[in-house]
Amino acid sequence: MSTETELSPVEFTVPVVSADPADAFDQRQFRNALGTFVTGVTVVTTCDGAGGTHGVTANSFSSVSLDPPLVLWSQALTSRSYPAFRDSDRFVINILADDQIAISNHFAKSREDKFSGIEYRPGLGGAPVLSGVAAHFECAKVASFPGGDHVVYVGRVERMGHSNRRALAFGSGRYVATYAHDLGPVALNLGTSTPSELEAVRLVTAALPALAEKLGGHTLCLAVWGNHGPTAIHWEPSSNPVSDQLRVGLVMSITRSATGRAFAAFLPDEQTRVFVSEDLRLSRRADQDEAAHRLDFERDVEEARTRGYARVIGVEPSPLHQVAVNAFSVPIFDARGNMLMALSLTSQANRLGTDWDGPVPQALAEAAWQLSARIQAQ
């Protein structure tokens, strides 16, 4: 039984606003101007009476009302799936995450069985809830309005889910990665400059929310080699932060941080040598032998080279983090084998084991190696 309010088609009379030919615009100009309004990207899904699943990429989604909770989206009457959405009582709005461009492209094409090979679970009424989305809203359709060559559907949200994944955005015909306004330009200007390096930073940053969720409440950091050494360009928010002072632009110790040791191990020696010497000089206790101090560091770096990633354990509380921490850091390489970034994970020492082969460092390393492979394939 449909709960939908059927409204009689509205006769559209378009008032003549301007008779001046100079004010005329064609459909392409109209689309281009509309495209400047940056939106998220959704896949709207439904299930028909025969149990068939349908899904379409849509950026016409909008919130309507908080009480009652209402949302809307509009569908082209020429869409292959239009009859299914028209006749269904329900739909699910899946708000795509930053790393789901392939899913968006997939559902933006008309084809027979769009759900084969797609991970999802049936939501209310069997409408698919896609895996890995930023949020989803399971809706009962409460109204449909004619809207020119589209129909506008209004849904009442009956169930929803929300993750901490960053949402994918779309503007001027292109997918856009979103960053907090205060951090974005900094993150993209620090340390790297060529378009392919920026693309690599974007690719890795986009993968971090899902990785953080998979690994648990640890602190993830992305760092590049800046002119003062290892420099943080992104911190992924954590439910158990090791400090409230983790800022973009933070320069880390090359000998005492896992991030620094990853750069020391995998960048050319001539690039890091001066920084290492200075850092060893600053970190040596008065009672410590200079050569032994250097040897300890060189052993750690050699071990990082053998393992493929770096580690520091039991780092004492400091002004930066007020608790003892353990950390691992994995290098990310471009196609020519140059180290581009370090992907690092830090946690309170009692929350992160020190074993090189522990599940968390292994999963971090695996993720970083996969990211390297994706960057190298670009």
Ligand X SMILES: Cc1cc2nc3c(=O)[nH]c(=O)nc-3n(C[C@H](O)[C@H](O)[C@H](O)COP(=O)(O)O)c2cc1C
Question: Contact residues for ligand X (CB under 6 A)?
Answer: 41, 56-60, 73-76, 79-81, 104, 108-110, 170
Place of tokens 């698919």: 128
Q: Cα(152)–Cα(375) distance, rounded to whole angstroms?
A: 40
Six token digits for residue 370: 């996969």
Q: Is omega for the bond preceding 21 within 30 degrees of 0, making it cis?
A: no
Cβ contacts of 345 within 8 Å, gap of 6 or more: 215, 218, 219, 220, 221, 327, 328, 329, 352, 360, 361, 364
Residue with smaller CB distance to ligand X, 34 or 274: 34
Residue with smaller CB distance to ligand X, 79 or 376: 79
Residue with smaller CB distance to ligand X, 153 or 225: 153
Q: Which helix (H) or strand (E) holds 6?
A: strand 5-6
Residue with smaller CB distance to ligand X, 76 or 313: 76
Residue with smaller CB distance to ligand X, 53 or 57: 57
How does DSSP classify residue 167? Answer: B
Q: How far is the CB of 67 from ligand X (least distance, A)?
A: 25
What's the burial of 252, exposed, middle or buried (CB within 10 Å: 0-12/13-18/19+)?
A: buried
Specify the pairing of strand 169-171 against strand 90-95. unpaired
Q: Which helix (H) or strand (E) holds 35?
A: helix 27-35
Q: How far is the CB of 77 from ligand X (least distance, A)?
A: 9
Helix 258-266 vs helix 290-307: crossing angle, to nearest 10: 80
Residue with smaller CB distance to ligand X, 34 or 295: 34
The strand pairing partners of 146, in sequence order, are: 151
> 325 — phi, psi (to 5°)?
-130, 155
Residue with smaller CB distance to ligand X, 32 or 110: 110
